[in-house]
């Protein structure tokens, strides 16, 4: 690898560590390569960034963010929690299960782990504490479950991965679903184990018929929110629309639901949600703009090929290489958010994965679970910090249960996703008929 | 006399500042709703009437590009850009953290300012060549100016953030030296 690229990597890491915004870190790294290299005018870079950005595929991201913003405003989080509580809350440790299910479903609607923490955490942490759960444990559970938003479709991370690696987004939406479900199961198991010594108060006993009636009422109240991911997925997998068009349908669906059915929206809140969602999208898109510029320079400097050479120089054993790549992805996930991580490493690692015979769709699932785990793994762990803030606890207190979830739920899923391709390839093969 | 003139200039400046922010929010609202409606109309036309509208996706993308860059600039104003700082983890709260924060915002403003020059070259090149869009023949200067304007606003917000941090450091030093004298 050339000294210019090594120096560039060091600059990128230094700027990230001192807190320079990630898009500016990418821009600075591109700037340094232009100054040091012999690329002539930088105009081709702006053109590369613009041509990548002006893509109809990427248009899905702002539309999903807007649909999620409209649906998750107001009472949908409360309705989801009420419904999940009516089903699972009656059992011992059931409130923990409510958190896991609610954050997974809310993540699917809003598409963002942080909004799942804010919305579900805000409601559930006080309720869990009231029922006798340890506050630190409650915060940790909310943070760890919220990362399921990356795995349950429609996921912005998978759209970006598909766009970067030129892989079918329809297939990528399906790939992390089974690893996501496995994770849900493991979370439920560890929730049962970790809460067994907590002084949890049992809820008032209710007969089966009454419980079913309550659940049906709560389900009706939450139905319009629950229907949104189904409409999106139905449109895409029914072959009716592209993911971008499905996202526009989701926005148009969310507007009358918010105004007329849930009545959570008024013109002022609608206006605020729309411009705030556009701001969130803008922040992501400018990150993609500068990352595309840097990626073009890295390609011109043969960085992906040299990266592959470096990995293969260590070992040619497929299992060891996959373990190294997993470790590399987790470390990237620990220091970066999922979008930046995908933009930076996917184009570099894809040639290695293809050489190892890993399908790009399978690789997408590997990236999603690894970067998801990184979001809750210290030292940076942005979701963990945010959850600690929402729950009003210190980070040190939530580390112990978080480590249990990371080591005994996330890690096994990461390894299974990596070494058992069928786990991520089964649904794309079954639904899309892929080879 | 001078102080009242200064006050009037300041109030006009503040009003213009608020108007600019309001305009940014309106741009975000209008472009977002425009993109949604255009893509939705295309779905209706394509699947219900089997008559796809020519060039509608091109307009949707151009509106989206405006939304992206104005949104990113507003994100800089709201300090909502994604960062992966480790400073808060390894340095205790105080002058050290403040100095590094100031350095980060100075770097952000400088790099962003450099990017303005790149986007300006790109925009002038578009005007010189008279580049037009493929489907509708729209002048691409209308689209590429969003990059220039977005980066210009972003640089301004990063620079203001730098000044704010600088002032905070001076105030912190003043307070510390007062405490020491007491």
* Segment A288-328, tens digit of pLDDT: 899 888 888 888 888 877 877 888 888 888 889 999 988 88
Q: How close is the nearest chain A Cα to the Cα of B56, in Å?
A: 11
Quote the pLDDT of residue A74. 61
Both tokens of A76, joined, read 């949908």
C-alpha–C-alpha distance, residues A65 and A60, integer Å: 9
CB half-sphere exposure, A85, CA atoms < 13 A: 17
- Cα angle B141, B145, B147 (rounded to 5 degrees) comes to 130
What ipTM does the predicted assembly reach?
A: 0.91
Cross-chain Cβ contact B60/A59 below 8 Å: yes
CA-closest candidate to residue B37, choices B57, B22, B20, B52: B57
- Report the share of chain A in percent with pLDDT over 90: 24
Alpha-carbon torsion (A222, A227, A228, A230), positive or negative = positive
Report which DSSP code applies to A377: S
| Residues of chain A found within 8 Å of residue B102, distances taken between Cβ atoms | none
Q: How many residues does chain B have?
A: 182
Mutate to test the interface with A, among B28, B39, B63, B116 (most CBs of A within 10 A): B39
B91 vs A: CB within 8 A:
no
**How many CB pairs (< 8 A) connect A and B?**
195
Residue B105, CA distances (Å) to A53, A293, A417, B112, B158 in order = 25, 22, 40, 10, 6
* 18-47 in chain A: CB under 8 A from chain B: 18-24, 27-28, 31, 41-43, 45-47
Tell me, what's the pLDDT at A376? 85
Interface test with B, best of A265, A278, A385 (most B CBs within 10 A): A278
Q: Which of residues 119-178 of B touch A (CB under 8 A)?
A: 119, 121-122, 125, 143-144, 147, 150, 154, 158
What's the pLDDT score for residue B182? 60
Measured distance CA(B71)–CA(A300) in Å, rounded = 30
The C-alpha atoms of residue B76 and residue B81 are separated, in whole angstroms, by 6
H/E stretch holding A196 reads none
Min Cα separation A305/chain B (Å): 27
- Residues B147, A43: C-beta atoms closer than 8 Å: no
- Cβ distance of A283 and B80 shorter than 8 Å: yes
How far is Cα A124 from Cα A138, in angstroms, rounded to an integer? 8
Q: Count CB atoms within 10 A of the CB of residue B106.
A: 18
Lowest mean pLDDT among A9-13, A120-124, A184-188, A240-244: A120-124
Least trusted range by pLDDT, from A46-50, B49-53, B172-176: B172-176
Give the model confidence (pLDDT) of A128-138 as tens digits.
Answer: 888 888 999 99
Taking all residues of chain A, what is their mean pLDDT, rounded to a whole number? 85
Selection from A237, A244, A242, A241 nearest residue A433 by Cα: A237
Q: Does the pLDDT of residue B180 top 70, yes or no?
A: no
- Backbone φ and ψ for A131, nearest 5 degrees, come out as -80, -5
| Ramachandran bin of B79, using left for φ above 0, alpha for ψ from -120 to 50, beta for the remaining angles | left
DSSP conformation class of A121: I
Percent of chain B at pLDDT exceeding 70: 96
| A336-375 residues touching B, CB cutoff 8 A | 336-337, 339-340
Which of B 11-40 lie inside 8 A of A, CB atoms? Answer: 25-26, 28-29, 31-33, 35-36, 39-40
Those residues whose C-beta lies under 8 Å from the C-beta of residue B94, and which sit 6 or more positions away, are none
Q: Report the candidate in B9, B138, B151, B131 with the shortest Cα–Cα distance to residue B73.
A: B151
Residue with tokens 């439920």: A188
- Would you call A281 and B68 a contact, using CB atoms and an 8 Å cutoff? yes
d(CA B109, CA B155): 5
- Rounded to a whole number of angstroms, the distance from the CA of A252 to the nearest CA of chain B is 8
CB contact under 8 A, A18 and B104: yes
Cα A193 from Cα A205, distance rounded (Å): 23
Residue A416 or residue A71, greater confidence = A416
Q: Tokens 């990995």 sit at which residue?
A: A311
CB contact under 8 A, B100 and A251: no
A72-111 tens-digit pLDDT: 776 677 787 778 777 777 777 788 888 888 888 877 777 6
Nearest CA in chain B to A11: B107
Residues of chain A positioned with their CB less than 8 A from the CB of B57: 56
Does the pLDDT of residue B37 top 90, yes or no? yes
**Confidence check: pLDDT of A423 > 70:** yes
> Between A63, A280, A282, which is nearest B70 by CB?
A282
Show Cβ contacts of residue A337 under 8 Å, excluding neighbours closer than 6 positions: A22, A375, A382, B82, B84
Whole-angstrom distance, CA of residue A397 vs CA of residue A361: 37
Work out the angle at residue A125's Cα, subtended by the Cα atoms of residues A276 and A141, and round it to the nearest 5 degrees.
Answer: 90
Cβ within 8 Å, pair A379-B89: yes
Instruction: Say how far residue A164 (Cα) sits from the centre of its chain.
Output: 16
Work out the end-to-end distance of chain A between its first and last CA atoms, rounded to an integer number of angstroms. Answer: 37
- Rounded to whole angstroms, how far apart are CA atoms A202 and A266? 39
Q: What is the pLDDT of residues A50-78, one digit of tens each?
A: 988 888 888 888 898 888 888 777 667 77
Pick among A19, A335, A344 to test the B interface (most B CBs inside 10 A): A19
Nearest to A19 among B62, B100, B143 (CB): B100
> Any idea what DSSP says for residue B132?
B
pLDDT exceeds 80 at position A380: no
Lowest mean pLDDT among A95-104, A272-281, B100-109: A95-104
A316: three-class secondary structure by DSSP: coil
What CA–CA distances, in Å, run from A434 to A11, A172, A239, A426?
Answer: 42, 12, 15, 9
* Axis-axis angle for helices A177-194, A135-146 (nearest 10): 170
Interface test with B, best of A275, A277, A344, A383 (most B CBs within 10 A): A275
**3-state SS assignment for residue B139:** strand
Contacts of A80 (CB under 8 A, 6+ apart): A102, A105, A106, A120, A222, A225, A226
- Kindly provide the b/e burial profile for residues A97-123, where b requires at least 16 CB atoms within 10 angstroms of the residue's own CB: bbbbbbbbbbbbbbbbbbbbbbbbbeb
- CA B36 to CA B21: how far, in whole Å? 23
Per-residue pLDDT reduced to its tens digit, A193-223: 998 888 877 777 777 788 888 888 888 888 8
Chain A residues in contact with B32 (beta carbon < 8 A): 62, 66, 274-275, 277-278
Q: Position of tokens 């499905």?
A: A246
**Number of other residues whose CB lies within 10 A of the CB of residue B14:** 10
Measured CA to CA, the distance from residue B53 to residue B45 in angstroms comes to: 7
Contact A280 B71 (CB under 8 A): yes
Cβ atoms of residues A68 and A110 within 8 Å: yes
Q: Do the chains contact at A63 and B70, CB–CB below 8 Å?
A: no
Q: Do A275 and B32 touch (CB under 8 A)?
A: yes
Does B1 have pLDDT greater than 80? no
Which of B72, B76, B133 best probes binding to A when mutated, by most A CB atoms within 10 angstroms?
B72
Q: For residue B87, which residues of chain A lie inside 8 Å, CB to CB?
A: 17-19
Contact call for residues B111 and A30 (beta carbons, < 8 A): no
What pLDDT score was predicted for residue B31?
A: 96
Residue of A nearest to B46 (CA): A241
**CA–CA distance, A115 with A109 (Å, rounded to integer):** 10
Q: Which of A43, A47, A278 comes nearest B28 by C-beta?
A: A278
């Amino acid at each position: 690898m050339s000294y210019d690229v090594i120096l560039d990597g060091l600059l990128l890491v230094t700027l990230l560590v001192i807190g320079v915004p990630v898009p500016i870190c990418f821009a600075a790294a591109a700037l340094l390569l232009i100054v040091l290299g012999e690329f002539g005018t930088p105009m081709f870079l702006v053109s590369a960034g613009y041509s990548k950005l002006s893509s109809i595929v990427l248009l899905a991201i702002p539309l999903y963010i807007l649909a999620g913003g409209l649906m998750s405003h107001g009472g949908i989080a409360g309705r989801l929690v009420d419904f999940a509580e009516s089903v699972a809350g009656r059992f011992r440790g059931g409130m923990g299960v409510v958190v896991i299910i609610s954050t997974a479903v809310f993540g699917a609607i809003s598409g963002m782990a942080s909004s799942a923490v804010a919305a579900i955490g805000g409601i559930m942490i006080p309720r869990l504490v009231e029922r006798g759960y340890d506050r630190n444990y409650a915060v940790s559970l909310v943070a760890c479950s919220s990362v399921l938003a990356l795995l349950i479709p429609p996921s912005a991370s998978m759209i970006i991965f598909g766009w970067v690696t030129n892989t079918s987004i329809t297939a990528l939406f399906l790939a992390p679903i089974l690893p996501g479900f496995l994770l849900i199961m493991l979370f439920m198991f560890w929730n049962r184990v970790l809460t067994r010594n907590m002084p949890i108060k049992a809820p008032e006993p209710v007969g089966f018929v009454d419980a079913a009636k309550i659940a049906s009422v709560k389900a009706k109240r939450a139905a319009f929110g629950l229907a949104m991911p189904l409409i999106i997925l139905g449109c895409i997998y029914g072959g009716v629309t592209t993911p971008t068009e499905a996202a526009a349908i989701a926005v148009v669906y969310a507007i009358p639901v918010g105004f007329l059915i849930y009545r959570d929206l008024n013109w002022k809140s609608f206006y605020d949600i729309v411009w705030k969602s556009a701001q969130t999208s803008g922040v992501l898109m400018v990150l993609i703009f500068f990352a595309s510029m840097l990626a073009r320079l890295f390609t011109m400097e043969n960085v992906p090929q040299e990266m592959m050479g470096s990995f293969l120089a260590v070992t040619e054993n497929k299992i060891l290489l996959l373990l190294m790549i997993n470790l590399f992805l987790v470390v990237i996930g620990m220091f970066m958010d999922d979008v930046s991580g995908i933009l930076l490493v996917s184009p570099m690692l894809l040639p290695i994965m293809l050489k190892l015979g890993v399908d790009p769709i399978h690789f997408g699932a590997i990236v999603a679970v690894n970067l998801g785990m990184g979001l809750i793994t210290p030292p940076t762990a942005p979701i963990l910090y945010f959850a600690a803030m929402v729950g009003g606890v210190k980070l040190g207190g939530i580390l112990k249960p978080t480590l249990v979830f990371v080591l005994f739920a996330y890690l096994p899923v990461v390894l299974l996703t990596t070494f058992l391709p069928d786990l991520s390839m089964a649904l794309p093969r079954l639904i899309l008929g892929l080879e | 006399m001078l102080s009242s003139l200064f006050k009037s200039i300041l109030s006009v400046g503040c009003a213009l500042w608020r108007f600019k922010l309001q305009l940014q929010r309106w741009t975000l609202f209008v472009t977002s709703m425009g993109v949604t409606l255009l893509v939705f109309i295309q779905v209706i036309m394509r699947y219900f009437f089997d008559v796809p509208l020519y060039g509608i996706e091109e307009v949707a993308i151009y509106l989206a590009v405006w939304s992206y860059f104005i949104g990113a600039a507003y994100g800089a104003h709201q300090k909502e850009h994604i960062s992966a700082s480790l400073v808060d983890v390894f340095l205790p709260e105080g002058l050290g953290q403040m100095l590094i924060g100031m350095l980060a915002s100075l770097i952000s403003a400088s790099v962003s300012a450099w990017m303005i020059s790149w986007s300006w070259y790109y925009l002038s090149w578009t005007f010189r060549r008279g580049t037009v869009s493929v489907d509708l023949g729209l002048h691409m200067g209308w689209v590429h100016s969003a990059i220039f304007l977005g980066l210009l606003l972003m640089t301004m917000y990063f620079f203001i953030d730098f000044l704010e941090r600088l002032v905070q450091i001076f105030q912190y030093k003043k307070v510390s030296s007062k405490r020491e004298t007491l």
